Amino acid sequence: MTMKMRVSGGMRVMACAVAAAMAWGSTAQACTGITLTAADGSVVRARTMEFNVNLESSVILVPRGFARTGSTPDGSPGLTWKTKYANVGTNPMGLPLIIDGLNEKGLSVGLFYFDQSAGYQPYTADDAAKTMAPWELGSYMLDSFATVSEVKDALPDVLVAPVVFKQFNLVLPVHYVVTDASGASIVVEYVGGKLNIHDDGIGIITNNPPFDWHMTNLQNYVNLGLENVPPQKLGDVTITGLGQGTGLLGMPGDFTSPSRFVRAAIFAHGVDPTTTSKHGIFQAFHILNNFDIPKGVAREDEKDKEGNIVSDYTQWTSANDLANKRFYFRTYENSDIRVVDLTKQNLDAKDIQTWSMDGFEVAHELGAPDAPK
């Protein structure tokens, strides 16, 4: 991860952030995002959230008129704004910020880990009034804009600086997917101190390397197909495939970001077409089942201070219905799908509303006297 910070005190902060990133970064990069467009034109953007410590996420609703101030590397007040459009989604570590969600206009934003590639814009004290931290940019976009086009026009005027996220003691390396109700989608990345905006016509995002690298990498898999391969003859011997799926022999199956990008692209564009957003929501959850990471199978060599294995796992999976303004989610402990309908909430409330994501799944016993009919 490339980071540039102010010289005054910055080298000490950078050294601390880099050391923390070495401990956190190599496993915390397994999120997968997809986009589906139904036959009726409705759009669903969905993703998994993997991390190697509990993000303590809740679902929050940010009302209109909520005041915010951006963070800066030197602690000065940054960009100030108020929420124009109410929005709903998941937050990290109890903060009043959204890392995946949508607003009342159907604009949706997701933050994805971007270790080894993220390099934010250089900052000076004169830039404070237009500056914010990487983890604040997602909420800024949801609070302020209705379409991808508006986001594209506004981002060059904002400075996203290498601010240390105190909860993790590092500069969070992230990039962003932004999708609106029309289906327009972009990936926003800061690399080498510069803003890069990529049109995401394929609707897929994972993690490092940058988005354009992933698109080039897809060319390595042009041999893959959804149809089974016909039998082949080797001399007088006919070789037939072993069961279904021979067209996808060679598809990468590991949890690395490049492999997940390829699988997500194939699955999202290979499933039966969705008819409505409701159909698309549940189709998205089925696709993302393939990217669930159980605790312990994607791990580091070291253990944490309590002696536990450090490993990524799928903490929650979410899906945004951009047509109907509904935010769906399930968690590692509870695979029941829950939903918040933004159109049924008080969008002018005085403060943020919070819903817990905690709780364990309940198995319903069939045949018991109190079992559901």
> Is there a contact between 61 and 296 (Cβ–Cβ < 8 Å)?
no
Please tell me the predicted confidence (pLDDT) of residue 373: 65
Which amino acid makes up residue 251? M
4: pLDDT strictly greater than 70: no
Please tell me the predicted confidence (pLDDT) of residue 303: 74
How far apart (Å, rounded) are the C-alpha atoms in residues 372 and 364? 8
Burial class of 160 by CB neighbour count within 10 A (0 to 12, 13 to 18, 19+) = buried
| The two structure tokens encoding residue 352 | 């943020």
Mean pLDDT over residues 255-261, rounded?
A: 96
Q: Which residues are catalytic?
A: 31
Annotate 82-136 with three-state secondary structure.
ECCCCEEEECCCCCCCCCEEEECCCCEEEEEECCCCCCCCCCCHHHHHHEECHHH
Please tell me the predicted confidence (pLDDT) of residue 304: 73
Q: Token pair 């976009």 is at which residue?
A: 141
| The two structure tokens encoding residue 122 | 């250089």
CA distances from residue 225 to 38, 222, 270, 301 in whole angstroms, order as listed: 22, 8, 9, 37
254: pLDDT strictly greater than 50: yes
Please tell me the predicted confidence (pLDDT) of residue 28: 53
| The two structure tokens encoding residue 292 | 């669930």
pLDDT in tens, 314-330: 999 999 999 999 999 99
- Regarding beta strands 131-132 and 159-160, do their DSSP bridges make them parallel or antiparallel, or are they unpaired? parallel
Which amino acid makes up residue 139? S
Q: Which stretches of 144-263 are assigned E, i.e. beta strand?
A: 159-160, 164-165, 170-171, 174-179, 185-191, 194-199, 232-234, 237-239
| Long-range pairs of 354-359 with CB within 8 A, sequence gap ≥ 24 | 354/58, 354/59, 354/60, 354/61, 355/58, 355/59, 355/60, 356/58, 356/59, 357/57, 357/58, 357/59, 357/90, 357/316, 357/329, 357/331, 358/331, 358/333, 359/331, 359/333, 359/334
CA distances from residue 188 to 27, 160, 323 in whole angstroms, order as listed: 22, 11, 23
> Is there a contact between 47 and 216 (Cβ–Cβ < 8 Å)?
no
Cβ neighbours of residue 162 closer than 8 Å, sequence gap 6 or more: 3, 4, 5, 14, 17, 73, 120, 123, 134, 171
DSSP designation for 160: E
pTM for the predicted model, two decimal places: 0.90
pLDDT in tens, 196-246: 999 999 999 999 999 999 999 999 999 999 999 999 999 999 999 999 999
How far apart are the two ends of the chain, measured CA to CA in Å?
54
> Which carries the bigger pLDDT value, residue 24 or residue 312?
312
Please tell me the predicted confidence (pLDDT) of residue 15: 38
User: What's the chain's Rg over C-alpha atoms?
Assistant: 22
Please tell me the predicted confidence (pLDDT) of residue 18: 38
> Is there a contact between 173 and 165 (Cβ–Cβ < 8 Å)?
no
pLDDT in tens, 137-188: 999 999 999 999 999 999 999 999 999 999 999 999 999 999 999 999 999 9
How far apart (Å, rounded) are the C-alpha atoms in residues 341 and 326? 4
17: pLDDT strictly greater than 60: no
How far apart (Å, rounded) are the C-alpha atoms in residues 361 and 230? 44
pLDDT band at 25 (very low <50, low <70, confident <90, very high): very low
pLDDT band at 372 (very low <50, low <70, confident <90, very high): low
Query: Is the bond into 209 cis (omega within 30 degrees of 0)?
Result: yes
